[in-house]
Amino acid sequence: MLRWQIAIQDNRGNMAIAHEDGNVHKTEDGLRRWPLQNDIDNPAYVPEEALPQIPMEGISVTDLNTTFFEELRNSYTQDRNCSILCQLFNKDCKDNSLIHALDEVWKKSYDEGRFHLLDGIIYHRTKHTCVMTVVDRSLINLVLKECHDSPFSGHLSEDRTREKVKTCIWWPMWQNNVAEYCKTCDRCQKANKSTGKRLGNMIKIQEPRRPWEIVHMDWVTGLPPGGDRSYNACLVIVDRFSKTPMFLPCHKDDTAMDTALLIWNRVVSWTGIFTNIISDRDPIFTSALWTNLHQLFGTELSFSTAYHPQNDGLAERIIETLEDMVRRFCAYGLVFKDCDGFTHYWCALLPALELAYKTSIHASTNQTPAMLEKGWNPKLPQHSLRKDLIEIHPTAASSKGMLDKARKHALKCMEDSFAYAKDKWDR
């Protein structure tokens, strides 16, 4: 205050001090506010009920609704086979009469020791999984919807849906039910594309030895404006080794520098520098700025030729999958409305769709892209169903060996996949 008094003393005769409401100067300090209590004598009086309510800080913990598990336990009493299994587990000795009363599928699994009872829930164990046994049709449909219809599942194929379901629940004839559910999905039937063979023989491309060594790039254009920056295109980057995609919203008229900055800001910190890029002959790639930028990175540009369009088939195929997934959720104007009624543009769906693709088994590697890239699969909403299950994880010493074996197996699968595709293509 003394410094202020010294600063204004030469202008005392020309100054007038007036009060301004604090709402007018929200960014100013507290010295500008009138030092009076908030009562009727204060010209800036605000009633208590009109004051903003500031919530107290605290920790919020969310978890899966326990009603699911309660409904699951209650459903066992309505099913004959589950009731018999509960009786068998609660008996101290083996009861052959109850065992013979089981249906054939249930009896076979029981004889093989696949059923276990834990906290009133029956688990079904296989070689690689141990999941809950669900017989109530409403609960089964709930899990099917989560594994196929949600943005984290992406309305993907029957095989990929089956792989997600088998890590969550089990019920007799579940594979047939999953196939029927996917075949009768209305959105999938409307959005699926027909595929056809293109001209030209297939050429083998150099195969990478680790993730993000060789990538495919392409653009999805013709999209309506979406997001806070009115994006109208999507840059698709695909790792050739693990098949991991990245979906980056952008603008179709982005310059080479804009695209380079997008990759630098969103991709390089996660993947490192690529050693080879496969893409169509696009003006962005042929610009001198783009080429010089990648020369600084030590990147060798690799372009496909007009006579062999399948060179860039990986990115184009994933673009088709991306368009199908977006179309299934955003059938009208590419705007998605979730179960709570909130509206999202197509670009808001990209993170969930990217995760859906990463956690789905790829046909050419027989592994999920996330497993080959990281060595583990990210947790999805449906995995909350397994919270009560005790899992045994490999030790840190053997984890690296398992990842190396998985990657070697993926390379072998990619070679076999190319040989099979080339034989079919060149006929």
> Cα angle vertex 96, ends 91, 98, to 5°?
65
In angstroms, the CA 138 to CA 189 distance is 23
3-class secondary structure, 351: helix
Q: Give me 52's structure tokens.
A: 């903003």
Quote the pLDDT of residue 68. 80
What is the pairing mode between strands 233-239 and 214-220? antiparallel
What is the pairing mode between strands 214-220 and 276-279? parallel
Beta strand extents in 306-423 (DSSP E only)? 335-337, 343-345
Q: Scan for tokens 């698709």, then name that residue.
A: 236
Quote the pLDDT of residue 393. 46
Q: Is 345 left (phi over 0), alpha (psi -120 to 50) or beta?
A: beta
Residue in 329, 386, 384, 382 with CA at minimum distance from that of residue 359? 382
Quote the pLDDT of residue 390. 45
Quote the pLDDT of residue 63. 53
Domain boundaries, the chain: 2-47, 67-191, 214-359
In angstroms, the CA 314 to CA 219 distance is 13
Quote the pLDDT of residue 198. 55
Provide the CATH topology of domain 67-191: Endonuclease III; domain 1 (1.10.340)
User: Domain 214-359 carries which CATH code?
Assistant: 3.30.420.10
Residue in 217, 213, 209, 315 with CA at minimum distance from that of residue 274? 213
pLDDT by 10s per residue, the chain, length 427 = 666 777 777 676 677 777 666 666 655 555 555 566 767 776 667 777 666 665 544 444 445 556 788 888 888 888 888 988 888 888 877 778 888 888 888 888 888 888 888 888 888 888 777 888 888 888 888 888 888 887 777 788 888 888 888 888 888 888 888 888 888 887 777 666 655 555 556 666 677 888 888 888 888 887 888 878 888 888 888 888 888 889 999 998 888 778 888 888 888 888 887 777 777 656 556 565 567 666 666 666 655 443 344 555 666 777 777 777 777 776 544 455 555 555 557 888 888 888 888 888 887 777 888 888 888 788 777 776 665 544 444 444 455 566 677 777 777 777 777 777 777 777 6
Burial group, residue 188, by CB count within 10 angstroms (0-12, 13-18, 19+): buried
Helices (H), 192-297: 256-266, 268-271, 283-286, 288-297
- Cα distances from 99 to residues 82, 112, 132, 170, 233, in angstroms, run 12, 12, 20, 20, 60
Dihedral in degrees, nearest 10, Cα atoms 359, 362, 367, 368: -10
